[in-house]
Amino acid sequence: MDIIKNTDIKFVSKRKKFYQISAAIILIGIISLLFQGLNYGIDFAGGTLIQIDFEQNASITDIRDVLEEMNLAGSTIQSLSGNEFVIRTDQTALQQREEILETLENRIGAFEVMKVEMVGPVIGESLKRLAVFAIIFAFIGIILYITVRFEFKYAITSIIALGHDVLIALAILSVLQKEISIPIIAAILTIVGYSLNNTIVIFDRLRENLKLKSRPILEETIDLSINQSLTRTVNTAITTLLPVLALYFFGGTLSDFAFVLLIGIVVGTYSSICMAGPLLLELKKRGKVSFSSVPQADQGKREKKVKNAKKIKNKKKK
């Protein structure tokens, strides 16, 4: 279904506005990272996670009051569906965990223990390193794939666009202090794959258009390729957003995972349409892309100058 038909949007001419929007969001994220950092969950920071489901009405305030009395004021409490809560505390011994559960039952009411998890600080640090390695290897794999599928210049552009997506996702997570856990890392890697897929579609169209025209102008060809792929890109974003929205509102413990996916779909679609093509043009202007492979607007002028110079030279010889 063609939601958007026969568009002729000049994305390249608006690229500075797109750069400013992205730079502003990333700058806010960097400031937040410097002052707040990331809110690492139990998977990375280490500690104890207790998930309980009360038989009667309970609130985060009630649970926090109990924990403060037990010198656990720094604990985080997350409300799930109904009267189900997740409590994250520092590393606690078995006796202290039993004391926490007993006090909660006496003060608030009966509950069912759904899950208890413990992660030591050593394991948390190891998981941090593995998460970083996973992202780095994903980027290396992407560079190799796009270099084989297209050319190395396209790989550079794709990595910059993907780095942009990840930075914005981390910026939002830092500002909102969303907990960073293993599912969140999985969501970030999913963002990378989703954004890359959209970018490849546009690059594929760009490559075809460059071959079809004898003297293509890069700026115009990029705009043409993006507009030709716009319906497909928007349709993909909408159909992906619908199940993720359902997961966000009804997914319970997976709501944070779905939240990161929502960010990724929006930002990935934005970067594929508004950033990838213009970035390729920027690389061309800075001499990172060969002239023969990606022509620019003044190519025709250069060819005319060469022809005129040859004509003048031939006349002089005569």
Cα angle, residue 159 at apex, residues 256 and 23 outer, rounded to 5°: 70
- pLDDT tier at 314, thresholds 50, 70, 90: low
> What pLDDT digit, counting tens, does each position of 164-178 carry?
988 999 999 989 888
Q: What is the pLDDT of residue 299?
A: 45
Per-residue model confidence (pLDDT) at position 214 = 61
Write out pLDDT tens, residues 176-226.
Answer: 888 888 888 888 888 888 888 888 888 888 888 888 766 667 888 888 888
Average pLDDT over residues 271-291: 74
> Cα Rg for the chain, rounded, in angstroms?
27
Query: If DSSP codes are grouped into helix, strand and coil, which group holds residue 179?
Result: strand
Predicted pLDDT at 172: 92
Distance CA 168, CA 191 (A): 11
How far apart (Å, rounded) are the C-alpha atoms in residues 72 and 269? 42
Q: Residue 253 has what pLDDT?
A: 67
Question: Do 169 and 267 contact (CB within 8 A), yes or no?
Answer: yes
Q: Does pLDDT of 24 surpass 90?
A: yes
pTM: 0.70
Q: In whole angstroms, give the CA distance from residue 159 to residue 34.
A: 24
pLDDT band at 121 (very low <50, low <70, confident <90, very high): low
List the beta strands (DSSP E) in 83-181.
Answer: 84-89, 111-119, 179-180
- Domains of the chain in sequence order: 12-35+123-300 (1.20.1640.10), 47-119 (3.30.70.3400)
Whole-Å CA distances, 275 to 16, 120, 203, 306? 10, 41, 12, 34
